[in-house]
């Protein structure tokens, strides 16, 4: 099968969070299974050019229709750790992807409406006719709309679209200008409740809704989150749309790329280990302590790695720092704030805790350091407000770092409580789960994990090793995506 992934991220060249990991890992898995896979991405000025091999121009003069005229673009091509990627670079005074960030501009909806248009135009003029176009998140929601309303009539009749929603929080709310820019134009037609009109704002269109309505198959990234999306308010107003399209909606758990996330070969950690020589993990703990100037003592090390966003339960992340310190543990936080208010809060905490030999707060995005932290820590906390899938708990499990998670979304599909999970045998349990979104609930689970570390180190070690035995690779999700592609391809 010939599959084209279109997304705003692909790790490690463009990564703000889990989306990048998923686009890369899924593409790799699909290629291993004998498919041809290409990835189309924006060419951001701030992406990691050092992670691209053989970058060259593949299509020098791509003229993308935009409003009444066109925007001159170049398409570059290169390999990102073996995956063939095309990068679209517009030469326009709008400076779409030359702003020093991936997301966060007021014009984001126009930047990605343009990217969607350019990606489709590139496929069209370069005569690429994939069997499957796989789009991700709101940034590419207009692609199936344009494909089935416009490009189909230009001859792209056999393409089918799988649309994956990684996060319902950001949906791409725009005005008619996005329709006029992309050439969809007919605003009366698209401002229909059954098409793109936002469910709660009559004056706006919603890219993600367009993706749901027009794609051949829609999924979110875990079975439990798919259920939450339909039956709770977590889909941020799209519940009814999902209900209407329930026959083509499902949940597929993300996988982890076990070539990237593997403590037996990870180039960024101090000592390689597996379940068979688990004791070697301690060398990583020592290395991290040295690197971050933490004291070397017989204490458990707790970590948080992730974006610092309301979604992630930041107040509980904050609480877990002080709770851990009070219980005599060490805490390492690696986080990228997504809002200035959260940023200044954690900078403030950092300055307070700067000289504490048991705590380190690192406020940046640092892929290499993240690997060492996963390998070094004993416990990882993931107290999310909501979590479509969550990769950090799965990475923790892979690295023998026991997860303490809130029981929502993909977290509940992957972590099974040591004390209370009746549906799993004791030898199948792998972490600690709490449910309420308050500090008492967090303390009850984090407290139980610390009790086990202090009072029964052997049992704690056994729990960590049980977690390592889980297969959260792309193996199973790869089967599921292939089945979906096959299914929609023959429609
Ligand atoms: P989300 O997609 O909501 O950000 P996930 O748990 O699905 O969360 O994926 C997070 C991914 O991003 C993981 O690979 C994690 O290691 C990585 N990550 C998040 N924040 C950082 C950071 N500040 N530094 C390094 N890696 C990070």
Residue 305's pLDDT is: 98
Percent of the chain with pLDDT over 90: 98
Pocket residue to mutate for ligand 1, from 16, 369, 370, most atoms within 8 A of Cβ: 370
Q: Give the integer Cα–Cα distance in Å for 20 and 14.
A: 7
Residue 390 alpha carbon to ligand 1 centre in Å? 8
392 CA to centre of own chain:
10
Confidence grade of residue 490 (pLDDT, cut at 50, 70, 90): confident
Q: Is the pLDDT of residue 489 over 80?
A: yes
Confidence grade of residue 334 (pLDDT, cut at 50, 70, 90): very high
Residue 158 alpha carbon to ligand 1 centre in Å? 36
- What one-character DSSP code corresponds to residue 445? H
Q: Which residue has the tokens 């023959």?
A: 490
Residue 15 alpha carbon to ligand 1 centre in Å? 8
39-48 pLDDT tens trace: 999 999 999 9
Residue 442 alpha carbon to ligand 1 centre in Å? 21
Confidence grade of residue 491 (pLDDT, cut at 50, 70, 90): confident
Is 259 strand, coil or helix?
Answer: coil
316-330 pLDDT tens trace: 999 999 999 999 999
For residue 335, the ligand 1 atom closest to its alpha carbon is 23
439-453 pLDDT tens trace: 999 999 999 999 999
**Nearest Cα residue to 109 out of 147, 139, 145, 70:** 139
- For residue 233, the cross-strand partners are none
Q: Whose CA is nearest to atom 20 of ligand 1?
A: 306
381-424 pLDDT tens trace: 999 999 999 999 999 999 999 999 999 999 999 999 999 999 99
Helices (H), 236-391: 239-244, 281-292, 314-326, 340-353, 367-376
Q: Is the pLDDT of residue 468 over 80?
A: yes
Mean pLDDT of 337-356: 96
- The correct answer on CATH 3.40.50.2000 for the domain covering 275-468 is yes
Pocket residue to mutate for ligand 1, from 8, 12, 306, most atoms within 8 A of Cβ: 306
287 CA to centre of own chain:
28
Which residues does ligand 1 sit against, CB inside 6 Å? Answer: 17-19, 21, 305-307, 334-336, 365-367, 370, 389-392
Q: Give the integer Cα–Cα distance in Å for 117 and 352.
A: 48
Domain 275-468 in the same topology as domain 2-255+475-489: yes
Q: Whose CA is nearest to atom 4 of ligand 1?
A: 17
Q: Is the pLDDT of residue 352 over 80?
A: yes
Q: Give the integer Cα–Cα distance in Å for 344 and 471.
A: 38
| Per-domain boundaries in the chain | 2-255+475-489, 275-468
C-alpha distances (whole Å) from 346 to each of 141, 236, 362, 363 are 34, 27, 9, 8
252-274 pLDDT tens trace: 999 999 999 999 999 999 999 99
- 2-255+475-489, what's its fold? Rossmann fold (3.40.50)
Residue 107's pLDDT is: 95
For residue 367, the ligand 1 atom closest to its alpha carbon is 25
Percent of the chain with pLDDT over 70: 100
Pocket residue to mutate for ligand 1, from 20, 305, 384, 389, most atoms within 8 A of Cβ: 305
Pocket residue to mutate for ligand 1, from 17, 363, 369, most atoms within 8 A of Cβ: 17
Q: Give the integer Cα–Cα distance in Å for 443 and 420.
A: 16
Residue 140 alpha carbon to ligand 1 centre in Å? 21
As a whole number, the mean pLDDT across the chain is 97
The CA-CA-CA angle for residues 3, 5, 11, to 5°, reads 130
pTM, to two decimals: 0.96
Q: Is the pLDDT of residue 483 over 90?
A: yes
Q: How many CB atoms lie within 10 A of CB 33?
A: 14
Q: Whose CA is nearest to atom 8 of ligand 1?
A: 18
Q: How many CB atoms lie within 10 A of CB 462?
A: 15
209-234 pLDDT tens trace: 999 999 999 999 999 999 999 999 99
110-132 pLDDT tens trace: 999 999 999 999 999 999 999 99
Confidence grade of residue 293 (pLDDT, cut at 50, 70, 90): very high
161-207 pLDDT tens trace: 999 999 999 999 999 999 999 999 999 999 999 999 999 999 999 99
Residue 337 alpha carbon to ligand 1 centre in Å? 11
Residue 78's pLDDT is: 98
**Residues 309/388, Cβ–Cβ less than 8 Å:** no
Residue 153's pLDDT is: 96
Residue 286 alpha carbon to ligand 1 centre in Å? 23
Residue 221 alpha carbon to ligand 1 centre in Å? 15
Residue 17 alpha carbon to ligand 1 centre in Å? 4
Q: Is the pLDDT of residue 96 over 90?
A: yes
For residue 312, the ligand 1 atom closest to its alpha carbon is 3
Q: Give the integer Cα–Cα distance in Å for 102 and 14.
A: 8
Residue 379 alpha carbon to ligand 1 centre in Å? 16
């Amino acid at each position: 099968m010939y599959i084209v992934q279109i997304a705003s991220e692909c790790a490690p060249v463009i990564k703000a969070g889990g989306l990048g990991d998923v686009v890369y890992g899924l593409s790799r898995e699909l290629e291993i299974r004998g498919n041809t896979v290409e990835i189309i991405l924006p060419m951001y000025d701030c992406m990691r050019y050092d992670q691209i091999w053989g970058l060259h121009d593949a299509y020098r003069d791509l003229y993308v229709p935009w409003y009444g005229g066109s925007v001159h673009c170049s398409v570059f091509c290169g390999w990102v750790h073996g995956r063939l990627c095309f990068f679209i670079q517009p030469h326009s005074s709008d400076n779409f992807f030359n702003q020093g960030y991936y997301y966060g501009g007021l014009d984001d909806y126009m930047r990605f409406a343009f990217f969607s248009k350019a990606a489709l135009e590139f496929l069209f003029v370069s005569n690429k006719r994939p069997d499957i176009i796989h789009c991700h998140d709101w940034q590419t929601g207009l692609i199936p709309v344009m494909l089935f309303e416009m490009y189909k009539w230009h001859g792209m009749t056999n393409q089918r679209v799988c649309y994956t929603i990684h996060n319902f929080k950001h949906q791409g709310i725009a005005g008619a200008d996005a329709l006029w820019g992309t050439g969809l134009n007919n605003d009366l037609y698209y401002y229909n409740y059954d098409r793109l009109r936002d469910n709660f704002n009559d004056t706006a269109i919603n890219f993600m809704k367009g993706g749901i309505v027009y794609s051949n198959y829609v999924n979110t990234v875990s079975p439990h989150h798919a259920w939450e999306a339909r039956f709770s308010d977590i889909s941020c107003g799209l519940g009814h749309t999902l209900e209407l399209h329930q026959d083509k909606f499902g949940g597929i758990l993300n996988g982890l790329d076990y070539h990237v996330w593997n403590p037996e070969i990870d180039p960024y950690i101090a000592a390689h280990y597996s379940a068979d020589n688990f004791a070697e993990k301690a060398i990583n703990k020592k290395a991290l302590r040295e690197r971050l100037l933490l004291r070397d003592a017989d204490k458990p090390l707790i970590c948080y790695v992730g974006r610092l966003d309301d979604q992630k339960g930041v107040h509980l992340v904050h609480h877990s720092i002080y709770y851990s310190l009070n219980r005599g543990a060490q805490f390492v936080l690696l986080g990228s704030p997504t809002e200035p208010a959260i940023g200044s809060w954690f900078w403030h905490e950092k300055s307070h805790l700067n000289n504490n030999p048991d705590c380190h707060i690192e406020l940046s995005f640092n892929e290499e350091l993240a690997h060492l932290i996963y390998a070094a820590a004993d416990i990882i906390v993931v107290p999310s407000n909501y979590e479509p899938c969550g990769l950090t708990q799965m990475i923790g499990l892979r690295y023998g770092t026991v997860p303490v998670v809130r029981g929502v979304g993909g977290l509940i599909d992957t972590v099974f409580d040591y004390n209370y999970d009746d549906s799993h045998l004791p030898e199948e349990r792998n972490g600690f789960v709490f449910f309420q979104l308050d500090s008492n609930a967090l303390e009850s689970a984090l407290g139980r994990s610390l009790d086990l570390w202090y009072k029964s180190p052997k049992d704690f070690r056994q729990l960590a090793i049980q977690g390592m035995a889980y297969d959260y690779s792309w193996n199973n999700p790869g089967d599921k995506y292939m089945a979906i592609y096959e299914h929609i391809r023959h429609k």
